[in-house]
């Protein structure tokens, strides 16, 4: 329940701050990094069970689906993708077997659900 609240609150903030209709300057890089890290952890815990629209939600920030460019949204989307890669797919980091299994399942679901889009 608390993860769902955190998901909703952060997604609402990110849409207001980085979406196509954002009126303010993007956050400082240090805050963007922490926000990205937090959202990546939420991805790991919720993507398989409760937030299957994760990538679609952040793709919406780019403005590309509606032909309204949002440079800050594109940059944030790319930051999210990079962070997810680092967390679940980076082969240079050694992982415990339960984390490796979880990451494999996440990658399989990503391939099946989102990569073809």
**What's residue 44's pLDDT?**
96
pLDDT of residue 68: 79
Residue with tokens 């073809």: 116
Q: Is 96 within 8 Å of 74 (Cβ atoms)?
A: no
In tens digits, what is the pLDDT along the chain, a chain of 117 residues? 899 999 999 999 999 999 988 888 999 999 999 999 999 999 999 999 989 999 999 999 998 767 778 899 999 999 999 999 999 998 888 888 999 999 999 999 999 999 887
Whole-model pTM: value is: 0.89
Cβ atoms of residues 38 and 84 within 8 Å: no
Distance between CA atoms of residues 22 and 24, nearest Å: 6
Question: How far apart (Å, rounded) are the C-alpha atoms in residues 19 and 21?
Answer: 5
Give the per-residue pLDDT at 117.
78
Distance CA 110, CA 91 (A): 17
- Rounded to whole angstroms, how far apart are CA atoms 26 and 31? 10
């Amino acid at each position: 329940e608390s993860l769902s609240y955190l998901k909703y609150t952060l997604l609402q903030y990110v849409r207001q701050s980085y979406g196509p209709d954002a009126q303010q300057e993007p956050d400082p890089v240090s805050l963007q990094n922490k926000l990205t890290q937090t959202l990546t952890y939420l991805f790991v815990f919720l993507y398989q069970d409760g937030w299957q629209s994760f990538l679609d939600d952040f793709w919406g920030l780019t403005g590309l689906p509606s032909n309204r460019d949002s440079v800050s949204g594109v940059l944030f989307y790319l930051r999210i993708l990079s962070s997810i890669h680092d967390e679940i797919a980076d082969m240079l980091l050694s992982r415990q077997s339960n984390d490796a299994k979880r990451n494999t399942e996440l990658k399989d679901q990503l391939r099946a659900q989102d990569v073809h889009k």
